[in-house]
Amino acid sequence: MTAAAPTVPDALETLRDRVAELSFGLAVPGRADAAREARAVVDQVDDYLLPRLRDLDAPLLAVVGGSTGAGKSTLVNSLLHADVTRAGVLRPTTRAPVLVCAPADRAAFAGDRVLPHLARTTGAPGGPDDGHGALRLVAHDALPAGLALLDAPDVDSVVTANRDLAAQLLAAADLWIFVTTAARYADAVPWDLLHTAVQRGTAVAVVLDRVPPEARDEVADDLAGMLRRAGLSAARLFVVAERPLDGGLLPAEEIAPLRAWLLGLAADQEQRDAVVRQTLAGALDSLSDRVTGLLAAEEQQHAAARTLQEAADAAYARARQEVDDAVAGGALLRGEVLARWQEFVGTGEWMRGLQASVGRLRDRIGSAMTGRRTSPEQVQASLGSSVADLLQAAADSAAERTATSWRSLPGGTALLAGRERDLEAASPDFPDAAVDEVRDWQGEVLELVRSEGAGKRARARWLSWGVNGAGAVVMVAVFASTGGLTGGEVAVAGGTTAVGQRLLEAVLGDAAVRSLAARARADLRERAGRLLDTERARFADLVTAAAPAPDGITRLRAAADGLATARRSR
């Protein structure tokens, strides 16, 4: 038996959850707009679409919105001929939205069916309960059952929270009653929202308030033309002439057409259902384009994350190569390391036992020796210090290159903000980690020599320098390429290494010695890579924390397809 196809509400809820999961943590262009749109989609699904789909017969909610000072609250009070919402000259006057319904419909709005994130209050207008996050619910006999009016904050309020709430409330409406004035009907902000209404298929009525009587026809015709050109030719237009208020209310004759239309909607189930179907279908239809935009924004986040990761990867890959080149090129066999090696080879007791041919080689390079006695441990210590310094320099340069690159990439500067001092160089604990890793590497080399020579101790007993000396030879052999040496350094470093290597080959075999050097070189390379990978992870972790979930796009696209399928199968 096949599973039943999801219903539209179930598919819509899944889509809502996928949108809520979207992450816009990287500060790329358009990030703020995408985050706002994602919140708007979630809010509309929660505040309107799911409640309406689950109760198609619920009262129609008409949200009265508009610009600052347009007279929204005065209009609502005048329609009911009662002071149910706060009007006045101070701005903003409407802090908490006010929802007015018939007593019979109070239960439909008292719970969290509509606008579930707003707490319900019932105090007087302007009371202490009014504020952000609250919805004042007023049941009034002047309003018939089947219709509710909601007085929203100003869409262009100076208070950001008011603007955001106004947009959220408009998205929760079955019907927008948009209030503007003769002086401000061409303002940009109201028209931005009206264009949104077109995109979402919302039913709209426009109230043109405070129109000079002598310019009534001219202004009304101009606004009607603007509405047609904007795709709102179906919007009902009501004109309210500028006349003295009567007890703070608009003259009854000026609002009579609007009141009659609203009462007609309340009384006519078929008309009311038509408004609801228009807005509901339009909101559902608009989700396709809105989700497409969110998918594009999410892909932009993924692309930015990939670019930032690739920049860090390239910087640390270059650091690995720098270490490899320094090892292969013999660059470490300089300075103190070279001096220690000369001293050790030139004065070690084991040189006395070399065959004549080897002795002649020693004589050729002996003039470069200092004659001071040096132990293999000193050679190892000097070489270890140089290797640790090499790793430190590589880590510092990789961190600096990554930070520099990130500053030129979308999202990178914001990730670095406040962390520049930490990220422009290797981490504070890197020096100790590098020393520990080099010490462990040297110990591993000695263990390799000990293991390789275990069966040859009788032959090797005369080697007075023992495992430590052999180990020093192998360690130097790892770096003894002429690529980084010049002149006399070649003869000294390369030649003396050859002397030690020849003796080791006589005892262990040439294949074993080559294998020891290769294994030691590979082990050092692996350890260096591990250290640098740990450093790179500082940058990678920042990107991972800010980047969207890897499967977010796939999940959102699947949810959108699921909603489309559910709607087709209704």
Is 90 exceeded by the pLDDT of residue 516?
no
Q: How far apart are CA 34 and CA 297, in angstroms?
A: 6
Residues 393 and 535: beta-carbon distance below 8 Å: no
Per-residue buried b or exposed e for 200-237, using 16+ beta carbons within 10 Å of the residue's own CB: bbbbbbbbbbbbeeeebeebbeebbeebeeeebeebbb
For residue 339, give Cα distances in angstroms to 45, 53, 369. Answer: 76, 85, 8
* pLDDT at 367 > cutoff 50: no
Determine the pLDDT at residue 489: 38
Tell which residue, 276, 464, 301, 473, has the closest CA to residue 380: 473
Mean pLDDT value of segment 133-158: 91
d(CA 378, CA 390) in angstroms, rounded, equals 18
Query: Could you tell me the residue ranges of all domains in the chain?
Result: 59-267, 304-554
- Asked whether the predicted pLDDT for residue 272 surpasses 70, the reply is yes
Least confident of 233-237, 298-302, 340-344, 404-408: 340-344
pLDDT above 50: residue 369: no
Look at residue 334 in the predicted model and tell me its pLDDT.
44
Judged against a pLDDT cut of 70, whether residue 130 lies above it is answered with no
Q: What percentage of the chain carries pLDDT values higher than 90?
A: 55
- What distances in angstroms separate CA 22 from CA 37, 123, 288, 554, one per listed residue? 11, 38, 16, 11
Q: For residue 139, name the pLDDT band (cuts at 50, 70, 90).
A: very high
Dihedral sign from CA coordinates of 62, 66, 69, 70: negative
Q: What is the mean pLDDT of residues 58-79?
A: 92
- Say whether pLDDT at 488 is over 60: no
pLDDT at res. 175:
96
Q: Which CATH architecture has domain 59-267?
A: 3-Layer(aba) Sandwich (3.40)
Query: How would residue 461 be classed by pLDDT, with cut points 50, 70 and 90?
Result: very low
User: Mean pLDDT, to the nearest integer, of 426-430?
Assistant: 95
In the numeric block, the tokens 């002429």 are attached to 482
Beta pairing partners, 209: 181
pLDDT in tens, 522-561: 888 898 999 999 999 999 999 999 999 999 999 999 999 9
Whether residue 66 is predicted with pLDDT greater than 70 in this model: the reply is yes
Tokens 């239309």 -> residue: 261
| Cis ω before 92 (30° cut-off from 0) | yes
pLDDT at 455 over 80: no
Query: Are 484 and 357 spatial neighbours (Cβ–Cβ below 8 Å)?
Result: no
